[in-house]
Amino acid sequence: MKKCMGVLGSLLLLSTTVQADTVLGLYAGADYWQTQVNGGFANSEQTQAFNFEDASQQSFYLALEHPLPLLPNLRIQYQTLEAQGNTLLNSTFTFGGVNYIQGTNIATELDLSSTDYVLYYEVLDNGLITLDLGVTAKHLKGYASARSASVGTIQDINQVVPMLYVDTRIGILGTGLDVFATANATRWQDSHLYDAQAGIGYQLVDNLLIDLRLKVGYRTVDLRLDDIDDLYADLQFKGAFAGVELHF
């Protein structure tokens, strides 16, 4: 977390040299992400691995870019991160004060949906290559639950996690195509959260009133929680996504 604050300070020092939009720009977008989910959770470091079903996730975002170079741009994004499944336990599993014995079939459910608040600067924007750097405050709010035929337990999580943010795009001249990559990352003590995606975009509409861009790619989220709100988790969400973005 101290590293995040240090990078924010560096960005503020560099803010007088970074570029800004010549006019006010509003971006709105939505993504559909089909994920494979692996891993597990517990109330101790010995997490129990579960069988999760593939799950669809959605994200929606707004971004505001302005011509004032001293002030960062703002992006707000809501992301679902959900999974559920059924597992036949091969060892005893304790969660929420309940012992689920070996051989018990339990249903598990996760909701680690989040809202990201991103402050960033346009470090480079020359019409062909863009590079944004910033910091993210990720508000994780959700739960993990386990349920057998006779009893169920649930563990809530409600935390704000600071992260580093980078976004870059490289256009392919004369085609309307671009390649892009976006990442948020943080690590503290024995916990970490990495969220990275890369793909190809296509500018379908480009005029004075509105720009419409389509995109496809691959995204992965690697999440390890170590005693965060009494929850331990080691989870991976990964898969292909498709999205649309409007620029007003």
Concatenated DSSP letters for 193-247? Answer: EEEEEEEEEEEEEESSS-EEEEEEEEEEEEEEEEEETTEEEEEEEEEEEEEEEEE
Q: What predicted TM-score, i.e. pTM, was given to this entire model?
A: 0.89
Which residue is listed with tokens 């480079």? Answer: 124
Q: What is the pLDDT of residue 19?
A: 56
Counting as low any pLDDT under 50, the low residues of the chain are 4-5, 7-8, 11-12, 14-16
As a whole number of angstroms, the distance between CA 12 and CA 23 comes to: 21
Query: For residue range 17-56, what is the model confidence (pLDDT) as tens digits?
Result: 555 555 789 999 999 999 999 999 999 988 999 999 999 9
Question: What is the enclosing helix (H) or strand (E) of 141?
Answer: strand 129-147
Q: What is the pLDDT of residue 21?
A: 58
Burial of residue 58 (CB within 10 Å: 0-12, 13-18, 19+) is middle
Q: What is the pLDDT of residue 18?
A: 56
Q: What is the pLDDT of residue 69?
A: 78
Q: What is the pLDDT of residue 23?
A: 73
Q: What is the pLDDT of residue 127?
A: 84
Domains of the chain, CATH where assigned: 2-247 (2.40.128)
